[in-house]
Chain A
Amino acid sequence: MERKTSKLTNVFLMIIFFILYAPIFFLIYYSFNSGGTMYHFESFTLDWYKELFSDMRLLIIVLNTLVVALLSALFATIIGVIGALAIHEVKKRSIRNGLLSLNNVLIVSPDVIIGASFLILFTISGYKLGFYSVLLSHIAFSVPIVVLMVLPKLSEMSSSLVDAARDLGASTWEVLIKVILPFISPGIMAGFFMALTYSLDDFAVTFFVTGNGFSTLSVEIYSLARRGVSLNINALSALLFLFTILLVVVYYFITQRQKLNAVGVKK
């Protein structure tokens, strides 16, 4: 089904993309400004990038942010997939809906409340705030997202697929590994990336559970609000933007290769 996209759709698409990307490019453009402000471009300089790389504290914070995002997304994906499978297995409709609602309440409840309750939980249990408290809370708020991403894929899967596998002598474990997981893997991947982005830019929850010298980028940038953000943050945003683009390109190539494999000869 190849349909010609009309000129109008293309124009519309261009406008939307422009609106979405213009602020980012605006930020990046001013990261090369020697004037030090965001509204008057003086001359080209790489000073802000130099300053960024000489600021050890900021670099540690960036690395912290990345590690927390990667690990929390990883664990949340594993737990979320198990959770989705469990919810999918529940036969009684009322119980299943109850479980789903419990899952969704976590998504819609305000971050500030989640953050404050985590803070109370950690301090009451005498747990020191720091890397692990941030990691645990990020895993906690990412799990419901992953569940939500994986469940539709599970319901999409026809039950006859599983029945067929069983008829052909597959054990429960084999059905899971060889049939179900490959089928829902796009959902898993989507869930992983959602969890990753959620963790990267979360401020409200993270603020409450950071401490003892451990901090993340969003907390740091928010705290600059009173004094004004300097251009090395622009430089950092530019680099993170490039990094994200790179990730997307890599992800694209991986999926392309999978498609080729799927069409070509099975290995």
Chain B
Amino acid sequence: MKQLVRVFIAIAIVSALLLVAISKLNDTQGYSGDNTLTIYNWGDYIDPDLIKRFEKETGISVVYETFDSNEAMMTKVKQGGTSYDIAVPSEYMIEKMREEDLLIPIDHSKLPNLKNIDERFMDLPFDPDNKYSIPYFWGTVGIVYNPELLDGKEFKSWNDLWDPELKNEILLVDGAREVMGMGLNSLGYSLNDTNKTHLREAKEKLDTLTPNIKAIVGDEIKILLANEEAPIGLVWSGDAADIMSENEKLDYVVPEEGSNLWFDNMVIPKTAKNVDGAHQFINFILDAEVSALNTEWVSYSTPNKAALEFMPEEMVTDERFYPSAELTEKLEVYENLGQANLAFYNELFLEFKMHRK
């Protein structure tokens, strides 16, 4: 009994000491001031030095919280309980949040740096006139491949994946829109196609790809490709950048028929307490030089035209991440197809997954 009491008292003392240490550390971080700005972002998705710089320039102390999926983020924002001033959802989630009235309109007059954003990435179907969101990073869907393991085989078209020589070599990311989109694009259809005949056709075509497919996987696709477990993968360009920084042998290509264009945009959720600070932060990120530093750190494609001048030459001219105008024309953002169409997409995708030869 004595022993138990002793152990418990020791634990209580240790906890108290730790609590004191935490509050001391928090003070050094300046988290206790009134003028705070809470940012809700993907993990590791901003250069931490820029946050420090923003704090210095404005006197606002930033609380940086992270999430691991759009759905999880939306749940937290919807429930309230935390005052997130800025969140960074993907485009389809922005549409959902807009529909559920979770966003505050952004005052463009407070964002003098908005002119730095490339026109091509403004006023897109998921957020007309960018009333609620400002582009943060963008990217594509394409093919990561390992030239070394494939004896220098090149990929120009989606149809190159159907090569019988590639038996059991391809990893697909587990997303209905991505995989169905690949099927539609390979036939020359739009990846927002809702024509049932076209969709069936795309699914039939995907079925003929099954001998070449090694597996359909989730986030672990990055590790598998970097470790050379498979030579080909269908991935988002953001993942491709990560994979290639892990393993320099690999290469990435956006097929010529076109592909998906995705966005992560900054929004101000309804939970915001510091709307003014949120505008200041968005404007800060839109600054050409800041955006350049951030892009170098994150290594995704920036929508900031002015930032390109401050970035290393080899990054800007990299066609893999900044595709030519001609190809950009063919990139499409996923449109919200409505519940019924989405269900049909999912159904076909499931049928395809079950179709094993």
Residues of A within 8 A of B (CB): 37-39, 55-57, 59-60, 63-64, 66-67, 70-71, 73-74, 77-78, 116, 119-120, 122-123, 127-129, 133, 177-178, 181-182, 185, 188-189, 207-208, 210-213, 215, 219-228, 230, 254, 258
Contacts and interface: CB of A to CB of B under 8 A. Distances in A.
A128 B81 contact: yes
A67 B64 contact: no
Given A116-B75, A230-B44, A212 B38 contact: yes
A129 B82 contact: yes
B82 A212 contact: yes
B38 A66 contact: no
Given A119-B81, A258-B3, A56 B25 contact: yes
A212 B63 contact: yes
B12 interface: yes
B80 interface: yes
- Could you say which of A223, A224, A254 has the most chain B C-beta atoms within 10 Å of its C-beta? A223
Contact of B25 (A60, A181, A212): A60
B3 A225 contact: no
Contact of B76 (A63, A73, A208): A208
A185 B8 CA distance: 12
A181 B22 contact: no
10 contacts: A39-B246, A56-B29, A67-B19, A70-B14, A74-B12, A116-B75, A185-B4, A189-B4, A227-B43, A258-B3
A5 B241 CA distance: 53
Contact of B3 (A123, A128, A185): A185
Interface of B: 1, 3-4, 7-8, 11-12, 14-15, 18-19, 21-22, 25-26, 28-29, 31, 36, 38, 42-45, 48, 63-68, 72, 75-76, 79-83, 219, 222-223, 226-227, 238, 242, 246-247, 298
B44 A213 contact: no
B21 A63 contact: yes
A189 B299 CA distance: 48
A122 B48 CA distance: 31
Contacts of A123: 79-81
A210 B29 CA distance: 19
Contacts of B298: 227
B42 A211 contact: no
A74 B76 contact: no
A55 B63 CA distance: 14
A208 B67 CA distance: 10
B19 to A, nearest CB: 6
B26 A182 contact: no
Contacts of B68: 207, 222-226
Nearest to B8: A74
A114 B300 CA distance: 36
A70 B19 CA distance: 11
B44 A122 contact: no
Given A60-B29, A210-B65, A220 B11 contact: no
Contact of A39 (B48, B63, B75, B227): B227
Nearest to B80: A123
A196 to B, nearest CB: 9
A59 B83 CA distance: 23
A177 B3 CA distance: 12
Given A63-B22, A223-B66, A213 B42 contact: no
- Could you say which of B11, B26, B82, B83 has the most chain A C-beta atoms within 10 Å of its C-beta? B82
Nearest to A185: B4
Contact of B11 (A74, A133, A188, A254): A74
B43 A60 contact: no
Closest 4 CB pairs of A and B: A223-B43, A211-B82, A223-B66, A224-B43
Contacts of A182: 1
Contacts of A177: 1
B76 A67 contact: no
A207 B31 CA distance: 20
A56 B7 CA distance: 30
Nearest to B63: A213
Contacts of B67: 207, 223
Given A74-B11, A188-B4, A215 B66 contact: yes
